[in-house]
Structure 1
Amino acid sequence: MNAPLRIGLLGARGFVGAELLKLVARHPCLELGFVSSREWAGQPLSAQLPEVDLRGRFENLDPKAAAGAGVDIVVLAMPNGAAAPFVAEIDAKAPGTLVVDLSADYRFDDGWYYGLPELTRGRYAGQRRISNPGCYATAMQLLVGPWVGELDGPVQCFGVSGYSGAGTTPSDKNNPDTLRDNLIPYTLVNHIHEREVSRQLGHPVEFMPHVAPHFRGLTITANLRLREVVDLDTVRARYASRYVDEPLIALQDGAPWVSRIAGRHGVQIGGWTLSADGRRLVVVATLDNLLKGAATQAVQNINLAAGWAETEGILNG
């Protein structure tokens, strides 16, 4: 086997950063180059992540230091709005570096490859800048994608996520005491994932997100109006045909439960239900927002760019 590719992670303090480090630790073709976290700089990796078998310490790298670190891959796991200085330095000093950005900063930039492999891998042509889709946006596109071109009007998507999706900065949306016995709606129009999905699918999607008391995993219930009458056999066949060779997508007749996807790498789709007239379809998807909604998908994109099996280090780690 060729020498492993060296990977650097910027923004390791968050929940997604921890999941990425677990995946890197067991990936046979990746070697950790650096882990940067302003808050944890100087601490051993084992102090904050004892479950991850990695040696070394957290660093606090500025854009110039990150660009000059000599790694093959940089993953940006920082809040929205923070990526640009790092990307600019890498563009200038190490343009051949593969950059995977987990924020929303480049999801609307046509110069970047939008990496939802099950739907967009055919567009990958060696790009070294990859924008990872949002967690909710991944589920919505996988639900709605098979019907684009046959939809009659906007699609409505009702979303519920665990509070890990709100990040680590304290707020009502990630406070277990506030969330106990509660469901908090937020950004009910013009959410960034609504714009992201509508742009990628070329069809309007209306998204209503909520945060719930559980820690990880999300559910999307999508309401689709169709131009033509369909039956349930047609619905099942449409999803089966689209996702037949996708190891991370599981189809089922019953509606998937979020408790059954937490900690798993894939997506579960099912619960398909039709109105009496056969033109209103409701479908449900669940995924782990920290994994397929972020870290797992980032590794899929790295594998795709490196020419490895897309599930390397995911299903065989």
Structure 2
Amino acid sequence: MTKRIGLIGARGHVGAELVRWLEKHPEFELGLAVSRSVAGQPVCALIPESRSHLRFVDQKPEAIAQSGMDALVLAMPNNEATAYVAAVEALAPDTVVLDLSADYRFDASWYYGLPELTRSHASGQRRISNPGCYATAMQLAVAPFKDLLVGATQCFGVSGYSGAGTTPSDRNNPEKLRDNLMPYSSIGHIHEREVSAQLGTTIEFMPTVAGYFRGITMTCNLHFREPQTLADVQARLSNAYSNEPLIELSDTAPWVNRIAGKPGGMIGGLTISKDGQRAVIVSVLDNLLKGAATQALQNLNLAFGLPETTGLVA
């Protein structure tokens, strides 16, 4: 039976991607699209490529919880999910809730859904925290080596300006970003804390916004406790991801424009120092997709007992 998905925050960049991908999914359908700013307007009129007959609505959390959806996806800024989660807990506790914000990523009672790393705990989960976009790129690059690491791992991330959302700011202003890079939150970014907590190792993350729309390039500088050979670290990478349908491995450093619009990620360019105690690796992904929307669909597939890549690969 088709599962009905309610989307709260459906007008943002990620919400629009979820609408498009849900319409292609053979087992899910968009049952509710909530957006205060465009309530009453047709979904198909505001989201290119959408064929949805629904109109955006503005509803209270209690009404949303009782709307009969099989799952609710919260695609809102940080610090806005609590009221919706509380309403579901009180009125429809069996509803699957997937939160795209950071509100529950540090809550041990929620499943942290980065499937390539955490799917062994996915069965039966009804409260799912979707990882951050930068955090996904970092973890996919660093996780295969985490037991070898010593000291801090430095991660330099460059994102397209869609990652700054739709509220106007310098970081999503194409004119100010033209021929430019904008570093920000160079110490203490929430994704730095997220990855450090998930991998159990110290991450030093430096994010930057660039003048293109979508995609993340993450360059990670790893320090090893003991010398490694290139063959050893390449084997670790291959063992981790060679059978992952949404992860592509590359001998050379992957380019972000080759992953834009695709549901997975690419990892490569693995380079090792002469003494074998330092390596650099690069991961790229689409911040709106593997960094948010298609990863959410991976998690929903797992929650409903479907093959993980349903609706994502042919």
TM range (shorter): over 0.9
Cross-structure match for 2:189: 191
Deviations 1:171-215 (A, max 9, x none): 000000110110000000010000000000011100000000000
User: Which residue of 203, 206, 231 corresponds with 1:205?
Assistant: 203
User: Which residue of 124, 142, 146 corresponds with 2:122?
Assistant: 124
- Match of 2:107, SS state, is coil
Deviation at 1:125, TM superposition (A): 3.7
Within 5 Å, give how 1:1-317 maps onto structure 2.
3-316=1-314
Measured in 2, the distance between the counterparts of 1:315 and 1:55 equals 25
Deviations 1:46-83 (A, max 9, x none): 11014112112111111011111011000000010110
- Match of 1:278, SS state, is coil
Segment of structure 1 superposing worse, 229-238 or 97-106: 229-238
Opposite residue 98 of structure 2, the aligned amino acid is V
Segment of structure 1 superposing worse, 286-295 or 117-126: 117-126
In the alignment, is the contact (CA less than 8 A) between 2:215 and 2:257 conserved in 1?
A: yes
Measured in 1, the distance between the counterparts of 2:63 and 2:198 equals 34
Measured in 2, the distance between the counterparts of 1:4 and 1:246 equals 26
Deviations 1:239-268 (A, max 9, x none): 110112210000011000111111111110
In the alignment, is the contact (CA less than 8 A) between 2:221 and 2:281 conserved in 1?
A: yes
Measured in 1, the distance between the counterparts of 2:197 and 2:137 equals 15
Measured in 1, the distance between the counterparts of 2:254 and 2:298 equals 23
For the structure 1 residues 50 and 147, does the alpha-carbon distance in structure 2 shift closer, same or farther, using more than 3 Å as the test? closer
What's the TM-score, normalizing by structure 2? Answer: 0.99
Measured in 2, the distance between the counterparts of 1:261 and 1:293 equals 12
Deviation at 1:278, TM superposition (A): 1.0
- Match of 2:279, SS state, is strand
Deviation at 1:124, TM superposition (A): 2.1
Measured in 2, the distance between the counterparts of 1:232 and 1:301 equals 33
Measured on the aligned residues, the alpha-carbon RMSD in Å equals 0.8
Question: Can you give the 5+ residue segments of structure 2 that lack an aligned partner in the other structure?
Answer: none
- Match of 1:291, SS state, is coil
Measured in 2, the distance between the counterparts of 1:142 and 1:228 equals 22
- Match of 1:148, SS state, is helix
Measured in 2, the distance between the counterparts of 1:69 and 1:250 equals 39
Measured in 2, the distance between the counterparts of 1:204 and 1:66 equals 39
- Match of 2:292, SS state, is helix
- Match of 2:85, SS state, is helix
Measured in 2, the distance between the counterparts of 1:100 and 1:27 equals 17
Deviation at 1:166, TM superposition (A): 0.2
- What is the aligned residue count? 314
Question: Can you give the 5+ residue segments of structure 1 that lack an aligned partner in the other structure?
Answer: none
What's the TM-score, normalizing by structure 1? Answer: 0.98
- Match of 1:130, SS state, is strand
Measured in 1, the distance between the counterparts of 2:242 and 2:49 equals 34
Task: List, as ranges, runs of 4+ consecutive aligned residues in structure 1 with deviation greater than 2 Å.
Answer: none
Deviations 1:140-191 (A, max 9, x none): 0011101111101110000000000000000000000110110000000010
- Match of 2:148, SS state, is coil
- Match of 1:293, SS state, is coil
Measured in 1, the distance between the counterparts of 2:259 and 2:122 equals 28
For the structure 1 residues 279 and 138, does the alpha-carbon distance in structure 2 shift closer, same or farther, using more than 3 Å as the test? same
Measured in 2, the distance between the counterparts of 1:175 and 1:50 equals 21
Opposite residue 146 of structure 1, the aligned amino acid is P
Q: Among all aligned residue pairs of Structure 1 and Structure 2, give the percentage whose two residues are the same amino acid.
A: 61
Measured in 2, the distance between the counterparts of 1:21 and 1:294 equals 13
Measured in 2, the distance between the counterparts of 1:115 and 1:186 equals 26
